[in-house]
Amino acid sequence: MQLYNKLSAKERAELIDQAGKNRLTLSFYQYAKIGNPQVFRDHLFITWNALDVLGRIYVAHEGINAQLSLPADRFNEFKEHLDSIDFLKGVRLNIAIEQDNKSFLKLKIKVRDKIVADGLNDETFDVTNKGIHLAAEQFNNLIEDEKTILVDMRNHYESEIGHFKNAITPDVDTFRDSLDIIEEDLKDHKEDKNLVMYCTGGIRCEKASAYFKHKGFKNVYQLEGGIVEYTRQVKEKNLENKFLGQNFVFDDRRAERISDDVIAQCHQCGAPFDVHTNCANDACHLLFIQCDKCKEEMNNCCSTNCKEIHALPYEEQKALRKGQGNSNDIFKKGRADHLPYKKDLRNIFETLKVNKQ
């Protein structure tokens, strides 16, 4: 019985091309009590592998967080399977704004301590006492209220290429980093302001809204379904789109274009640009923003040093990496000192000023 992926990304890409079928990229999450995450995980893998599902799925005692793709003509079978699971029946599925048949090339279902790394002790507060969910039209109206503080719950490399206008964008590397910063800098406004939050698909706000209510914030709201669902409703109902730029996504697409605004810049030359790339040096793979001109000049590398290493024969590159693990700088997402136009560090909450880009 197969319980793990056995094909390489290259082999899977070839099979997708041979199949010639359109695939559907989607995501969903659900907090629920799962008694045995490993058994549940294996059940999902057996069923979904047979449906040709690919993606990255986390299962924990607290629920499931899934980002995946599947053949469009097997969607109904997939939905029927979800509906056969009590806590997933009728779960909201966030369909990707932009589709790509190769958004995922492997099926990875992992058992984790949590479905989102929030660093919180869930025993210390009521995780079910969440903020008020807002549909797109309600959200648009509330964020225009002068008593509203709009906060982006994503990391800096996500908000750098796209965010809601007038949103506070925490300059952090992880979701956990933002929680204490927001509480501290907004502590004087726990009762007199509306705290409105948003993220990619809604999952981070589910936990954050309960946490901030526990910390004494009286008026807590969250964008239902996140940026993905907001965009769908804006198009369906012909609403004003208040999101600028691209929505960062955690698959091979890297981003979905929401508006024509380009609010970021190339980290190497400063030209307006908002497409992330990974440094081609296998010992680096830093995720950063690089325009087409710099990509050609730097051979898709983030520095001269990486460019020189990348030009070496493969065996020499491999020898240089021997005995060395990947640096944590890989996860700094554009903070590297050798990038002159990286996002500047700043006190994002100073006098409650907001990003006007």
What would the pLDDT profile of 157-174 be if each residue is shown by its tens digit? 999 999 999 999 998 888
User: Residue 120 CB: number of other CB atoms within 10 A?
Assistant: 18
**pLDDT class of 326 with cuts at 50, 70, 90:** low
pLDDT tens figures, 17-61 = 999 999 999 999 999 999 999 999 999 999 999 999 999 999 999
**pLDDT class of 331 with cuts at 50, 70, 90:** low
Q: In this model, does residue 324 exceed pLDDT 80?
A: no
Classify 9-111 by CATH class. alpha beta
**pLDDT class of 329 with cuts at 50, 70, 90:** low
Mean residue pLDDT across the chain? 91
Q: Which of 199, 205, 294, 306 is catalytic?
A: 199
Average pLDDT score over residue span 167-188: 90
pLDDT tens figures, 212-239 = 999 999 999 999 999 999 999 999 999 9
pLDDT tens figures, 263-313 = 999 999 999 999 999 999 988 889 999 999 999 999 999 999 999 999 999
**pLDDT class of 356 with cuts at 50, 70, 90:** very low
Average pLDDT score over residue span 316-324: 81
Q: In this model, does residue 4 exceed pLDDT 80?
A: yes
Average pLDDT score over residue span 68-81: 98
**pLDDT class of 179 with cuts at 50, 70, 90:** very high
Q: In this model, does residue 347 exceed pLDDT 50?
A: no
Domain extent listing, the chain: 9-111, 122-239+345-352, 276-332
**pLDDT class of 351 with cuts at 50, 70, 90:** very low
Q: What is the CATH number of domain 122-239+345-352?
A: 3.40.250.10
pTM over cut 0.95: no
- For residues 255 and 174, the model is more confident at 255
Q: Is position 199 annotated as part of the catalytic site?
A: yes
Query: How high is the pLDDT of residue 82?
Result: 98
Q: What percent of the chain has pLDDT over 90?
A: 76
